[in-house]
Structure 1
């Protein structure tokens, strides 16, 4: 029977390479040819008050006219397309880490809202929506049994 030397750091390195490969496959960078069309998902912030739901999305570098917002009583859908501006230089290589292409995000709402009374504002790359709650949800009182 032959003795094999165990090297724990080699196994840790192997595990780290596998984890890096896994994360690279889940979040591709837009600098490779096969994923140049990968768009971004705008980050969102949601806050609930007794009267309304306030939703903010970070969508920099776009015009308000390029955004498409649809609101139902249960969800908000935001979509748009960021157009690429190609520039070529004669002296060297240009690298771009900007993401271009279409995006769409659907955000489910915690309570029903009045979708015909939504207020929207887009300023400095932040889309702000005020979604008033349905009147029945605002005045709803629930009795809690203890023990």
Structure 2
């Protein structure tokens, strides 16, 4: 810079904040819940009905069946994960990184938990595989939903 040299004006920066196209985002969360439920159904059909492996399920929802308990659990996981991801988007600087860690560790815990419910390793591992597949489905689908519905909005 030399004295007397004209300097270009700096454009005003409009403050922005992260946001979501909420309607499309929650439609994606709902579709994710449907896929998660279907992953649970396929897991039960393949493992319990075709391969004749007894699944070990904690029926905390009082559904009366392994399949219904896994389906309800899968739907709830998808909805809670969707709400968590939306919260992270509006409150944290790297929401996808935090979401990835939370989903990864949460899925790992849910996959290992059946090992504490029974001494029958085959049943525990089979149930853990269903939990693992549901977690992976929810994680990958919601990450994709976020990438298609995220937007930047002017700060107020």
TM range (shorter): under 0.3
Under a length normalisation based on structure 1, what TM-score does the superposition of the two structures give? Answer: 0.25
Whose RCO is larger (CA < 8 A, sep 6+)?
2
Question: Max radius of gyration: which structure?
Answer: 1
More strand per residue: 1 or 2? 1
Under a length normalisation based on structure 2, what TM-score does the superposition of the two structures give? Answer: 0.24
